[in-house]
Amino acid sequence: MKVAVVYESTRGRTKAMAEAICEGVVSAGAECLVIDAKEFPGLDGVCGLALGSSTRMKRTLPMIKRIISELSTLNGLPAAAFGSYGWSGEAPDEIAGKLSEAGASLVEETPIKAKDYPSDSILEQCRALGGKLAAKCSK
Protein backbone atom coordinates (compact mmCIF):
# COMPACT_ATOMS: atom_id res chain seq x y z
CA MET A 1 0.00 0.00 0.00
CA LYS A 2 1.28 3.44 -0.79
CA VAL A 3 0.47 7.13 -0.81
CA ALA A 4 -0.17 8.62 -4.27
CA VAL A 5 0.62 12.29 -4.77
CA VAL A 6 -0.91 13.33 -8.07
CA TYR A 7 -0.24 16.79 -9.49
CA GLU A 8 -0.77 18.99 -12.53
CA SER A 9 1.63 21.89 -12.82
CA THR A 10 2.56 24.28 -15.61
CA ARG A 11 5.82 25.74 -14.26
CA GLY A 12 6.88 23.16 -11.70
CA ARG A 13 5.60 24.92 -8.59
CA THR A 14 2.81 22.52 -7.67
CA LYS A 15 5.16 19.71 -8.71
CA ALA A 16 7.70 20.94 -6.10
CA MET A 17 4.95 20.75 -3.48
CA ALA A 18 4.10 17.19 -4.59
CA GLU A 19 7.73 16.14 -4.25
CA ALA A 20 7.92 17.61 -0.73
CA ILE A 21 4.73 15.78 0.30
CA CYS A 22 6.26 12.50 -0.88
CA GLU A 23 9.50 13.28 1.00
CA GLY A 24 7.40 13.55 4.14
CA VAL A 25 5.65 10.26 3.42
CA VAL A 26 8.94 8.44 2.88
CA SER A 27 10.53 10.01 5.99
CA ALA A 28 7.60 8.66 7.97
CA GLY A 29 8.32 5.16 6.66
CA ALA A 30 5.64 4.66 4.01
CA GLU A 31 5.90 4.23 0.26
CA CYS A 32 5.02 7.14 -2.00
CA LEU A 33 4.57 7.80 -5.70
CA VAL A 34 4.69 11.29 -7.23
CA ILE A 35 2.45 11.03 -10.27
CA ASP A 36 1.98 13.49 -13.12
CA ALA A 37 -1.78 13.75 -13.67
CA LYS A 38 -1.40 12.72 -17.31
CA GLU A 39 -0.01 9.37 -16.12
CA PHE A 40 -2.51 8.69 -13.34
CA PRO A 41 -2.84 4.90 -13.06
CA GLY A 42 -5.89 4.77 -10.76
CA LEU A 43 -6.16 4.07 -7.06
CA ASP A 44 -5.27 0.38 -6.82
CA GLY A 45 -3.04 -0.19 -3.79
CA VAL A 46 -3.37 3.41 -2.64
CA CYS A 47 -3.92 4.05 1.07
CA GLY A 48 -3.65 7.84 0.95
CA LEU A 49 -4.12 10.42 -1.80
CA ALA A 50 -2.92 13.99 -2.26
CA LEU A 51 -4.22 15.85 -5.32
CA GLY A 52 -2.70 19.12 -6.43
CA SER A 53 -3.23 21.69 -9.15
CA SER A 54 -2.31 25.27 -9.74
CA THR A 55 -5.12 27.72 -10.48
CA ARG A 56 -5.76 28.93 -14.02
CA MET A 57 -8.58 31.36 -14.77
CA LYS A 58 -9.94 30.65 -11.25
CA ARG A 59 -10.18 26.94 -12.06
CA THR A 60 -8.45 23.62 -11.41
CA LEU A 61 -6.28 22.45 -14.32
CA PRO A 62 -8.06 20.04 -16.70
CA MET A 63 -6.36 16.72 -16.03
CA ILE A 64 -6.85 16.94 -12.27
CA LYS A 65 -10.41 18.01 -12.92
CA ARG A 66 -10.94 14.93 -15.05
CA ILE A 67 -9.39 12.62 -12.46
CA ILE A 68 -11.70 14.05 -9.81
CA SER A 69 -14.76 13.66 -12.00
CA GLU A 70 -13.90 10.02 -12.64
CA LEU A 71 -13.23 9.06 -9.01
CA SER A 72 -15.64 6.51 -7.70
CA THR A 73 -16.59 6.60 -4.05
CA LEU A 74 -13.50 7.10 -1.89
CA ASN A 75 -14.98 5.45 1.16
CA GLY A 76 -12.99 7.29 3.83
CA LEU A 77 -9.66 7.29 1.96
CA PRO A 78 -7.26 9.70 3.73
CA ALA A 79 -6.73 12.59 1.32
CA ALA A 80 -5.54 16.16 0.93
CA ALA A 81 -5.45 18.96 -1.63
CA PHE A 82 -2.67 21.39 -2.50
CA GLY A 83 -1.48 23.76 -5.18
CA SER A 84 0.42 26.86 -6.18
CA TYR A 85 -1.41 30.01 -7.25
CA GLY A 86 -0.78 33.58 -8.33
CA TRP A 87 -3.54 35.75 -6.86
CA SER A 88 -6.84 33.99 -6.13
CA GLY A 89 -6.00 30.29 -5.63
CA GLU A 90 -9.35 28.56 -6.08
CA ALA A 91 -8.06 25.16 -7.28
CA PRO A 92 -6.96 23.59 -3.95
CA ASP A 93 -10.29 24.51 -2.33
CA GLU A 94 -12.20 23.12 -5.29
CA ILE A 95 -10.20 19.87 -5.14
CA ALA A 96 -10.74 19.55 -1.37
CA GLY A 97 -14.49 20.06 -1.83
CA LYS A 98 -14.69 17.41 -4.53
CA LEU A 99 -12.60 14.94 -2.51
CA SER A 100 -14.98 15.40 0.40
CA GLU A 101 -18.01 14.96 -1.82
CA ALA A 102 -16.50 11.74 -3.14
CA GLY A 103 -16.25 10.43 0.42
CA ALA A 104 -12.56 10.99 1.19
CA SER A 105 -11.47 11.80 4.72
CA LEU A 106 -9.45 15.03 4.54
CA VAL A 107 -6.39 14.96 6.79
CA GLU A 108 -6.12 18.78 6.80
CA GLU A 109 -9.07 21.13 7.20
CA THR A 110 -7.56 23.65 4.82
CA PRO A 111 -5.55 22.74 1.72
CA ILE A 112 -1.93 23.83 1.43
CA LYS A 113 -1.52 26.73 -0.99
CA ALA A 114 1.73 28.28 -2.16
CA LYS A 115 1.78 31.73 -3.68
CA ASP A 116 4.10 31.32 -6.69
CA TYR A 117 7.09 29.08 -5.91
CA PRO A 118 6.59 27.31 -2.55
CA SER A 119 8.65 28.89 0.24
CA ASP A 120 10.74 26.78 2.62
CA SER A 121 8.00 27.07 5.19
CA ILE A 122 5.34 25.84 2.73
CA LEU A 123 7.59 22.97 1.68
CA GLU A 124 7.92 22.09 5.37
CA GLN A 125 4.10 22.08 5.66
CA CYS A 126 4.02 19.78 2.62
CA ARG A 127 6.44 17.36 4.29
CA ALA A 128 4.32 17.43 7.46
CA LEU A 129 1.23 16.65 5.38
CA GLY A 130 3.09 13.67 3.90
CA GLY A 131 3.80 12.49 7.44
CA LYS A 132 0.10 12.65 8.29
CA LEU A 133 -0.91 10.69 5.20
CA ALA A 134 1.75 8.07 5.98
CA ALA A 135 0.46 7.75 9.55
CA LYS A 136 -3.08 7.12 8.28
CA CYS A 137 -1.76 4.50 5.88
CA SER A 138 -0.16 2.43 8.59
CA LYS A 139 -3.43 2.19 10.52
Site residues for ligand FMN per CB under 6 A: 9-14, 54-58, 84-89, 116
Nearer to ligand FMN, 31 or 90 (CB): 90
In terms of CB distance, is 3 or 85 closer to ligand FMN? 85
DSSP string, the chain: -EEEEEEE-SSSHHHHHHHHHHHHHHHTT-EEEEEEGGG---STTEEEEEEEE-EETTEE-HHHHHHHHH----TT-EEEEEEEESSS--HHHHHHHHHHHTT-EESSSS-EEEESSPPHHHHHHHHHHHHHHHHHHT-
| Least Å from the CB of residue 89 to ligand FMN | 4
CA dist., res. 83 & res. 81, Å (int): 7
Chain position whose Cβ is nearest to ligand FMN: 86
- Considering the complex, what minimum distance in angstroms separates the CB of residue 15 from ligand FMN? 6
* Least distance between ligand FMN and beta carbon 137 (Å): 25
Cβ proximity to ligand FMN: between 119 and 138 the closer is 119
Specify whether the CB–CB gap between 1 and 57 falls below 8 A: no
Query: Smaller CB distance to ligand FMN: residue 45 or 58?
Result: 58
Q: How far is the CB of 22 from ligand FMN (least distance, A)?
A: 15
